[in-house]
């Protein structure tokens, strides 16, 4: 496990838990980086040997990128008056992009990501596949071949540089970012979820678990804030019953680690470490990428979607990609060379609503793309 993401509903204490996990890892002898968008609420992290701290700012990342490349852009488009880096307004998604880049550049055995609220964390996880999809759409192989010819012509002086060349220069930057994607292999990324032991948190984390499954990940633990002691009276009785039900619901997602509610946030390292006392750092991440397997009438690809229900799930084929949607969340899965030459014949959600829910997509060889002898052999063996 190379990356640990910590997330939960806003105010659930994910920043403090991320700091505690990072300190635990650093004290075990692993070089560790704690990465996040906001300053950690835990004091004293600077004094921890072996622990690096990284804070991501989308605004600063965009300003740095603009400073590095605005000169070349000005030369290609001299009719434009370009603003200084201090006046550049970052686009939505800049922080996720900056965080992905920082992950790719990290030099540490373990990176603990304070991923913030659930929505922010899920946007980060969806970003690499989205970048790959848009890059493939904007620059398919034929366009890339023409771009290589143009780049060579520009280098030889046969063609003048122009705005198109500035756009083409972005491609290696994006491909370099994706090549360093630390989240590309889900088996190296683990997730901790934090939440209060309330019924509202169960629904939010259950939905998040489905989307995590869409990206090949699963929660390794749920850190649930629980009441430290039982009280008396009708309010306590109802609250304790709700808590018991919530803990049971959270336990269906991953093993639950109880964190007693405190009167204040743990503001220093010793108290933060108390939140994860008795909880081991995960040693493995998510599931391997889906691989085709032979079925009764062809080939089948299985995508785990824990707790998904049938009305939530949809499936489309676009070129060499299989686009799977769960509600408003989508992921593009690049098909391997075998399945690219096959037709999608159907899809079904098996065991809907359960932890074992999965999308099973069936394929059969496309007669237009399989040699006749291989197609005949496939017909005999399927």
- What pLDDT digit, counting tens, does each position of 71-91 carry? 766 665 666 777 887 888 877
Strand partners, 314: 325
Domains, the chain: 1-288 (3.40.50.300), 293-381 (2.60.40.790)
CB 114 within 8 A of CB 41: no
Helix (H) or strand (E) run with residue 7 in it: strand 3-8
- What pLDDT digit, counting tens, does each position of 295-349 carry? 777 899 999 999 999 999 999 999 899 999 999 999 999 999 889 999 999 999 9
The Cα 31–Cα 3 span in angstroms is 12
CB 321 within 8 A of CB 266: no
Q: In whole numbers, what is the pLDDT of the chain averaged over residues? A: 87
CB 203 within 8 A of CB 271: no
- What pLDDT digit, counting tens, does each position of 227-262 carry? 877 777 888 888 899 999 999 999 999 999 999 887
Question: In the chain, what is the greatest distance between 2 CA atoms, to the nearest angstrom?
Answer: 86
Please check the confidence at residue 382 and state whether its pLDDT lies above 70.
no
Class of residue 88 by CB neighbours under 10 A (exposed 0-12, middle 13-18, buried 19+): middle
In the block, which residue shows the tokens 């800049």? 94
Query: Helices (DSSP H) in 215-307: which residue ranges?
Result: 234-251, 269-275
Between 291 and 23, the higher pLDDT residue: 23
75: its two tokens:
């030369």
Q: Which pLDDT belongs to residue 279?
A: 95
Using pLDDT thresholds of 50, 70 and 90, give the confidence band for residue 168.
low
Q: Which pLDDT belongs to residue 370?
A: 79
Is 303 strand, coil or helix? strand
């Amino acid at each position: 496990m190379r990356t640990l993401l910590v997330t939960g509903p806003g105010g659930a204490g994910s920043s403090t838990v991320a700091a505690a996990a990072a300190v635990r890892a650093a004290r075990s002898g692993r070089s560790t980086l704690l990465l996040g968008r906001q300053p950690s609420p835990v004091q004293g992290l600077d004094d921890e040997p072996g622990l690096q701290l990284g804070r991501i700012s989308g605004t600063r990342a965009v300003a740095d990128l603009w400073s590095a490349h605005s000169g070349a852009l000005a030369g290609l488009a001299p009719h434009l008056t370009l603003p200084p880096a201090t006046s550049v307004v970052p686009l939505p998604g800049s922080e996720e992009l900056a965080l992905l880049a920082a992950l790719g550049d990290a030099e540490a055995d373990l990176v603990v990501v304070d991923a913030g609220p659930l929505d922010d964390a899920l946007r980060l996880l969806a970003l690499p596949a989205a970048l790959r999809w848009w890059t493939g759409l904007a620059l398919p192989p034929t366009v890339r071949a023409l771009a290589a010819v143009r780049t060579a012509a520009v280098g030889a002086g046969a063609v003048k540089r122009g705005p198109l060349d500035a756009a083409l220069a972005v491609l290696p930057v994006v491909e370099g970012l994706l090549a360093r994607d630390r989240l590309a292999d889900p088996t190296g990324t683990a997730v901790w979820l934090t939440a209060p032991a309330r019924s509202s948190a169960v629904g939010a984390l259950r939905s998040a678990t489905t989307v995590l499954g869409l990206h090949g990940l699963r929660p390794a633990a749920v850190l649930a804030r629980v009441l430290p002691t039982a009280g008396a009276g009708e309010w306590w009785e109802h609250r304790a019953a709700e808590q018991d039900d919530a803990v049971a619901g959270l336990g269906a997602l991953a093993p639950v680690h109880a964190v007693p509610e405190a009167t204040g946030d743990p503001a220093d390292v010793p108290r933060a470490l108390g939140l994860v006392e008795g909880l081991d750092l995960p040693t493995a991440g998510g599931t391997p990428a889906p691989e085709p397997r032979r079925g009764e009438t062809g080939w089948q690809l299985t995508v785990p979607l824990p707790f998904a229900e049938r009305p939530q799930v949809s499936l489309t084929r676009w070129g060499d990609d299989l686009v799977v949607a769960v509600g408003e969340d989508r992921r593009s899965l690049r098909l391997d060379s075998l399945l690219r030459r096959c037709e999608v014949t159907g899809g079904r959600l098996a065991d809907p609503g359960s932890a074992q829910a999965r999308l099973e997509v069936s394929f059969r060889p496309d007669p237009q793309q399989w040699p006749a002898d291989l197609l005949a052999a496939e017909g005999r063996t399927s």
